[in-house]
Chain A
Amino acid sequence: MPASKSAKPAAAAPKTWDKSQVRDVIRKRYFPEVSLTTHEGKQVRLYDDLIKDKIVVMNFFYATCEGICVPLTSNLVKVQALLKGRVGKDIFMYSFSLKPALDTPEVLHDYARRFHAGPGWQFLTGTPDDMELVRRRLGFVDPDPAIDADKTSHTGMVRYGNEPLQLWSACPGMSRPDSLVKSILAVDWKDGKRQG
Chain B
Amino acid sequence: MRILRYRELPSVANARKNRLEIIAAGLSRRELIKYGLISSSGYLVFKNGLSQYASGVAWASGGTGTTGLTSPPTRAFIEPMPIPPVRRPVTTLSGPAPTINPNTAGGEARTRPHQAFTKYPTKFPFAPALKFETHQRPGQMLMSPDLPLQTIWGHDGIWPAPTYYAAYGQQILVRNFNDLPDPSQNGGFGIPEVSTHLHNLHSPSESDGFPCDFFGRGKFYDHHYTNVLAGFASTHPPDGDINEALGTLWYHDHRVDFTAQNVYKGLAGFYLLYNQFDTGDEQTGFRIPGVGGSSFYDPVQFDVPMMLADRVFDPSTGQLFFDLFNLDGILGDKFLVNGKVQPFFEVEPRRYRFRLVNSGPSRWYEVFLTDQGSNTQIPFWLIANDGNLLPAPISVTSVAAAVAERRDIIIDFRQWAGKTLYLENRLEQTDGRGPTGNTLPAGAGNFLLQFRVKSKVTTTDNSLDPSHMRFYSLPDKTAPARVTRTFRFERGNGQWQINGRLMDADCSTVRLRVKQNSVENWVLQNNSGSWMHPIHIHVEEFQILNRNGVAPSPFEVSRKDVAPLHHNENMRLFFRFRDWEGRYPLHCHNVVHEDHAMMLRWDIDQTGDTNATP
- Chain A positions near chain B (C-beta within 8 angstroms): 1-4, 6-7, 9-10, 12, 15, 17-20, 22-23, 25-26, 29-30, 67-68, 136-144, 153-157, 159, 161-162, 164-176, 179-180, 182-183, 186-187, 190-191, 195
- Chain B positions near chain A (C-beta within 8 angstroms): 33-41, 45-46, 50-53, 62-64, 66-67, 72, 75-78, 145-146, 148, 182-184, 186-189, 191-193, 216-217, 257-258, 314, 316-319, 323-328, 372, 420, 422, 431-433, 443, 447, 450, 492-496, 502-506, 508, 529-530, 595-597
On whether the beta carbons of B40 and A7 are closer than 8 Å, the reply is yes
On whether the beta carbons of B502 and A157 are closer than 8 Å, the reply is no
Residues of A contacting B326 with CB < 8 Å? Answer: 139
On whether the beta carbons of B503 and A30 are closer than 8 Å, the reply is no
On whether the beta carbons of A1 and B37 are closer than 8 Å, the reply is yes
On whether the beta carbons of A190 and B146 are closer than 8 Å, the reply is no
Residues of A contacting B506 with CB < 8 Å? Answer: 179, 182
Q: Please report the C-alpha to C-alpha distance between residue A153 and residue B494 in the assembled complex, in whole angstroms.
A: 8
Cβ distance A50 to chain B, nearest Cβ, rounded Å: 15
Cβ distance A6 to chain B, nearest Cβ, rounded Å: 4
Q: Please report the C-alpha to C-alpha distance between residue A171 and residue B494 in the assembled complex, in whole angstroms.
A: 10
On whether the beta carbons of B51 and A165 are closer than 8 Å, the reply is no
Cβ distance B22 to chain A, nearest Cβ, rounded Å: 14
Cβ distance A40 to chain B, nearest Cβ, rounded Å: 27
Supply 25 A–B pairs (Cβ within 8 Å), ascending by A. A1-B53, A1-B76, A3-B33, A3-B45, A12-B145, A12-B146, A18-B317, A19-B317, A25-B316, A67-B493, A143-B328, A155-B495, A157-B495, A159-B325, A165-B184, A166-B189, A169-B595, A170-B325, A170-B596, A171-B505, A172-B496, A175-B505, A179-B508, A187-B191, A190-B217
Residues of B contacting A10 with CB < 8 Å? Answer: 34
Q: Please report the C-alpha to C-alpha distance between residue A17 and residue B495 in the assembled complex, in whole angstroms.
A: 38
- Looking at B39, B66, B78, B192, the one whose CB has the most chain A CB atoms below 10 A away is B66
Can you name 9 extra interface pairs (CB under 8 A) apart from A172-B496, A175-B503? A1-B422, A2-B372, A9-B36, A15-B146, A29-B66, A143-B328, A155-B494, A170-B325, A175-B505
On whether the beta carbons of B187 and A6 are closer than 8 Å, the reply is no
On whether the beta carbons of B504 and A157 are closer than 8 Å, the reply is no
Given A67-B493, A143-B64, A174-B502; A165-B39 close (CB under 8 Å): no
On whether the beta carbons of B504 and A26 are closer than 8 Å, the reply is no
Cβ distance A114 to chain B, nearest Cβ, rounded Å: 21
Residues of B contacting A26 with CB < 8 Å? Answer: 188, 324
On whether the beta carbons of A154 and B191 are closer than 8 Å, the reply is no
Given A4-B45, A7-B33, A7-B36; A175-B66 close (CB under 8 Å): no
On whether the beta carbons of A20 and B317 are closer than 8 Å, the reply is yes
Q: Please report the C-alpha to C-alpha distance between residue A52 and residue B555 in the assembled complex, in whole angstroms.
A: 52
Residues of A contacting B503 with CB < 8 Å? Answer: 172, 175, 179
Q: Per a CB cutoff under 8 Å, which of A29, A144, A170 touches B530?
A: A144
Given A143-B64, A179-B504; A25-B37 close (CB under 8 Å): no
List the B residue with the shortest CB-CB distance to A20.
B317
Given A1-B76, A10-B34, A17-B316; A164-B494 close (CB under 8 Å): no
Q: Please report the C-alpha to C-alpha distance between residue A138 and residue B66 in the assembled complex, in whole angstroms.
A: 7
Cβ distance A23 to chain B, nearest Cβ, rounded Å: 8
On whether the beta carbons of B372 and A183 are closer than 8 Å, the reply is no
Residues of B contacting A1 with CB < 8 Å? Answer: 36-37, 45-46, 50-53, 76, 422, 443, 447
